[in-house]
């Protein structure tokens, strides 16, 4: 079960869940939580999707940037040396843009 499948399950009324749904969601939790952990920057995607980056050298060490191959460039200073990244957490069905 991935995040999209979990979202579909989440959309069902809880009383409509069957035991297989519950077991699958429970089994998927460790993998889903691991996917949201900080990861080394060299594993960051190059998809254009927004990601969260951690740069310990900035006054504001955590930023959201598009993972588009140019995401390491700071629009003010021209450079950025993040050490880690993580995906944005699920947004609960809210349209974020």
Task: Give tens-digit pLDDT for 22-66.
Answer: 888 888 888 877 777 899 988 888 888 888 888 887 777 787 777
Cα gap 21→70, rounded to integer Å: 40
pLDDT at 75: 59
Please determine, for residue 96, whether its predicted confidence score (pLDDT) is greater than 60. no
Is 97 contained in some domain? Answer: no
Q: Name the more confident of 18 and 71.
A: 18
Rounded to two decimals, what is the model's pTM?
0.58
Nearest to 86 by CA among 47, 25, 30, 34: 34
Q: How many domains in the chain?
A: 2
Same domain flag for 47 and 8: no
Cα gap 12→61, rounded to integer Å: 38
Is 95 contained in some domain? Answer: no
Q: Which domain holds residue 50?
A: 40-89
């Amino acid at each position: 079960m991935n995040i999209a499948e979990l979202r579909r399950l989440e959309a069902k009324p809880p009383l409509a869940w069957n035991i297989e749904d519950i077991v699958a969601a429970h089994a998927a939790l460790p993998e889903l939580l691991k996917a949201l952990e900080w990861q080394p920057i060299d594993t960051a995607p190059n998809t254009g999707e927004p990601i969260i980056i951690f740069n310990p050298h900035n006054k504001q060490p955590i930023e959201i940037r598009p993972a588009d191959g140019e995401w390491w460039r700071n629009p003010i200073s021209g450079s950025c040396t993040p050490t880690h990244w993580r995906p944005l957490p699920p947004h609960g069905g809210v349209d974020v843009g």
